[in-house]
Structure 1
């Protein structure tokens, strides 16, 4: 009993001391205090009163749960807010009117929005809010700051007034998933602004606790922390973040999150478990797979630290499985929200296929080759054009490693047609266009036009004529590109040339051979209604001939 009474007295004394300090601070800044002179006001261009932003930061003190441990953390967090007051001493900090409802918040419309394209809103689906009135008030204030953090001006003001320290304190003590999500969302938006990411990195203990959030069981929190880590790993301080992600348990968790947030069977269920953690799954693939892309496309130092252990843990098979899933969805139904995911997966695989250390493992997969070929054969490419261009580069990398894959598609006319139809989407990407011509040249190099049967010969002609406009536009609009690539095949001119030139030479040869053999055909029709127009053949042949002559004369 005496111990309980002594403990109670200590708590009362702490509360009295806390209240006295608060009264002293309020006396220093009474409500009737006259406004400071103009030269002492905040030098911030914003339509939101800086004092209002600061008052919101103060309202984000960790919610006291009543336990001694939480109470101590709360007292420590109050010390952080004393720092906020000290930072803002030259301004008018009026917290009496700090409710979100009392202000009309507007963004600075003169600001550039290019740096905040990756910021997210604080909105959450209806019915997902809950908790005590204190926690709900915290959510209201936090959501306002989450949205304000999308503006660079507001974000800088928030960092100057110790928002990171306040959020760090909340992440240390809060058990509320919603509070953690808001904290992570604010940090994620702050990280999108150039320069502020360094403040996150320099806040003692913050990055460590952010990495620890990967082991939460809330999908929204996981989405936000993946977004933060992707931004960090892709920034100038990528090596700093990579060192925190290096432990095997962290990398395993990242792979597990990426795999299970895309698994169709798991998405339909209420929850899954990796043995230690249970997670209710929502659709959050962009953030979870984006962190893998950030690692793969990151700085060389990041690659050296993280790619080898990730490959050992099964990164290749994971990416192929994810691509297989996306392709299965794409062939059944078109869901625009999934297109960015497909592109992220392909970019990650393509980057690995171009790596000297890991290309062989990626390029040796027949399953991957078939998946990429299936994507290239899609009839309507407009919605996934970027993914098809990336797939073209990946195919070029794979065929340079595994020439034995070429016979599998050498007479796949829909695949050849798909390669040509992808060229217009790569009009602004010289390297991608060269990669597509490289694949086309490799396929056509295997064609012996003098020996193939008339049906196959006519099929090639039909493909060329159906894509004649694309071929002509590419030859006319693209400047000649110097290339050190030497033909590995025997062509009449025996010239050193680019893959495009090799392909065009072969197309002309096939067209000429058809002209010679056409009289042997009983009728100039193939597949019923598909006729071959002699004038079209001549026009394309002349175009190819002019291009080859221009190359030889240069």
Structure 2
């Protein structure tokens, strides 16, 4: 930056003419906001004031008595003076004219920022949208969220939800509340604000997709918080539950499917006793059937085209089905669904699993749960070689998931028990060995990963307790390895007969590979 040269008057020694200061002096310490932020708190406060329903045309409802009462009781500080209460005293709003736009703040998992402006809105709505979107973004910051809550933004947004006829304004209001709900203190304030819970739940009956997404998101976040009992009580209304299930069943929008199924999951996993109330109610209303229908729809989409935005949707649906499968009231219905079983096996048999590996792992856990209840399916499993190969291919994706590995070994063990108990042809025997040898590298790597766990189990000197999950994994693994050893021994003993019976062009299995795998599996078979 260049330094200005001295003026002639300065050179001649004359005293320069005084110029106005280019900046205002700092405020006294007692008037400063105790906030670590680069956004002027007064700017945030001024934006909140601009969201008042009395300052924006939302369908002509602002002059109604109901709105006047809300405004008087909720934001009286705006009506009777030009000041708002903050942590360190009152800050005058008269001088709030120009502020720089808020700096971009970091986002995190549960925080979203506002979308683009919709065309065709009124001038008042455009201005409201501009201010609302800035607050929507600023609410991602815990500091800004607390400042907003302290300065009555929840009361302002409550009033807006009551009177607004604009879908976009409603969406932004819910979006701001959703970002506020990501922070513990402001989430508690959302729950304690009189009437706000029911006002938010009423938005679930709108027909606007973005509004429904934001409403589902707010309820989901609050159900996962420490004050979830009040939300759970409000949600137990059959009228509201039917509406939520209707949304899940009828929407085609992937984002709304994501948000609505996330809400279902939050209800099923609720920390409070209400989870025990939701589960039978949702089951009675047909949730298992709805989720299977939804899974079928997503599987069709997956076969048609791999769209990354749908992977998370598929995963959420499977998680919801898994949550139902362990509930006594609906586990029998889940396990008896042949359609569900076929969908799960189709997912595992997909040749390319990288993008949907987590979904396939959940599907395997579900199949393991189903087979514990529906033993008659085990025989059908034993005849599905593509499923067997698909199960082995999942081990690399489940290396750190004890439950998933236990499920995979459990299914394989049930598969091979049926092979041992039923007569199999020489061709089938050859096909089993072909699968084993083709997946030998995966099997060996999985056994190596299990070696440290097994050592822990056998090391009686260690004081660390061994989890039941680890023990069950080893039991299932050893049962599966015994089955593999049995099949390999049968194949080796009948190798000459098998070669003669193979159709022309049928792939041969290396005897050396079979012996190597046999030795490796035998080495790891241990009693638990």
Question: For residues 323 and 317 of structure 1, do their structure 2 counterparts lie closer, same or farther at Cα, with a shift above 3 Å needed?
Answer: same
Is the 1:146–1:186 contact (alpha carbons within 8 Å) kept by the matching residues of 2? yes
Question: 1:446/1:484 Cα in 2 relative to 1: closer, same or farther (>3 Å)?
Answer: farther
Cα distance in 1, alignment partners of residues 245 and 343 from structure 2: 21
- Greater mean alpha carbon deviation, residues 85-94 or residues 158-167: 85-94
Alpha-carbon distance change, 508 to 142 in structure 1, aligned in 2, over 3 angstroms:
same
Q: Which of residues 409, 419, 427 in structure 2 aligns to 1:447?
A: 419
1:386 aligns with 2:358: yes
The reply on whether 1:56 has 2:54 as its aligned counterpart is: no
C-alpha contact (below 8 Å) 1:61/1:78 kept by paired residues: no
Question: Which residues in structure 2 correspond to 1:90-169 (within 5 Å)?
Answer: 90=89, 92-94=91-93, 97=96, 102-107=99-104, 116-124=108-116, 128-169=118-159
Aligned pair count reads: 484
1:76, 1:421 → 2: CA distance? 60
Helix, strand or coil for the counterpart of 1:318?
A: helix
Tell me: CA distance 1:300–1:421, structure 2 relative to 1, closer, same or farther (3 Å): farther
Indicate the SS of the match to 1:243: helix
Structure 1 residues 250-399: aligned runs within 5 Å: 250-262=240-252, 284-299=256-271, 301-399=273-371
Gap change, CA 1:521 and 1:80, over 3 Å in 2: closer
CA distance in 2, matches of 1:527, 1:374: 30
2:384 and 2:272 map into 1 onto residues whose CA distance is: 38
Q: 2:508 — aligned with what?
A: 531
Q: Say whether the 8 Å CA contact 1:449–1:510 is kept in structure 2.
A: no
Residue 12 of structure 1 corresponds to which residue in structure 2? none
Task: Look up the match of 1:170.
Answer: 160
Partner Cα distance (1:398, 1:245) in 2: 30
Distance 2:281 2:306 in 1: 35
The alignment partner of 2:247 has SS state of helix
How many Å separate the matches in 2 of 1:176 and 1:341?
Answer: 29
**1 CA distance for matches of 2:338 and 2:97?**
61
What SS does structure 2 have at the residue aligned with 1:498? helix
Aligned to 1:401: 373
For structure 1, the 5+ residue unaligned runs are 1-32, 263-280, 488-495
Answer yes or no: is the 8 Å Cα contact 1:214–1:253 preserved in 2. yes
- Following superposition, the deviation at residue 81 of structure 1 comes to 3.8
* Deviation for aligned residue 1:290: 1.2
Partners in 1 of 2:277 and 2:142 — Cα distance?
Answer: 32
Q: Which runs of 5+ in 2 are unaligned?
A: 1-23, 458-465
TM-score (norm 2): 0.86
1:530–1:213 distance in 2 versus 1, CA, 3 Å:
same
| Per-residue Cα deviation, 1:287-306 (whole angstroms, up to 9, x for no partner) | 12211111112225122221
Correspondence for 1:25 = none
Q: 1:293 to 1:37 in 2, by over 3 A?
A: same
Residue 405 (structure 2) aligned to one of 428, 433, 437: 433
Which residue matches 1:277? Answer: none
State whether residues 376 and 388 of structure 1, in contact with CA within 8 Å, keep that contact through their aligned partners in structure 2: yes
* Distance in structure 2 (CA, Å) of the matches to 1:74 and 1:527: 88
Q: CA separation of 1:67/1:295 partners in 2, compared to 1, >3 Å: closer, same or farther?
A: closer
Structure 1, 33-42 or 397-406: larger mean CA deviation = 33-42
Equivalence map 1:376-525=2 (5 Å): 376-448=348-420, 451-478=423-450, 479-480=453-454, 498-522=475-499
Matched residues in 2 for 1:122 and 1:68: separation?
A: 25
State the Cα distance separating 1:340 from its structure 2 match: 0.5
Indicate if the aligned counterparts of 2:426 and 2:501 stay in contact, CA closer than 8 A.
no
SS in 2 for 1:217: coil
Aligned to 1:41: 32
Is the CA contact (8 Å cut-off) linking 2:262 and 2:316 kept in structure 1? yes
Question: CA RMSD for the aligned pairs?
Answer: 2.7
Corresponding residue number in structure 2 for 1:24: none
Could you list the structure 1 runs, at least 4 aligned residues long, displaced by more than 6 angstroms after superposition: 482-485, 524-527
8 A contact 1:524–1:531 mirrored in 2:
no
Deviations 1:362-393 (A, max 9, x none): 11111111111111111111110011111111
CA contact (8 A) 2:146 2:185 kept: no
- Say if 1:445 and 1:506, in contact at 8 Å, map to a contact too: yes
C-alpha distance 98-158 of structure 1, shift in aligned 2 (>3 A)? farther
**Displacement after TM superposition at 1:156 (Å):** 1.4
Distance 2:362 2:377 in 1: 19
Q: Distance in 1 between matches of 2:332 and 2:97?
A: 60
Q: Is the 8 A contact 1:70 1:173 kept in 2?
A: no
Once the two structures are TM-superposed, the CA of residue 90 in structure 1 deviates from its matched residue by 2.7
Counterparts of 1:188 and 1:166, CA distance in 2: 15
Q: Residues 123 and 78 (structure 1 numbering): CA distance in 2 closer, same or farther, change over 3 Å?
A: farther
Deviates further, 455-464 or 303-312: 303-312
Deviation at 1:223, TM superposition (A): 0.8
Secondary structure of the 1:87 match is strand
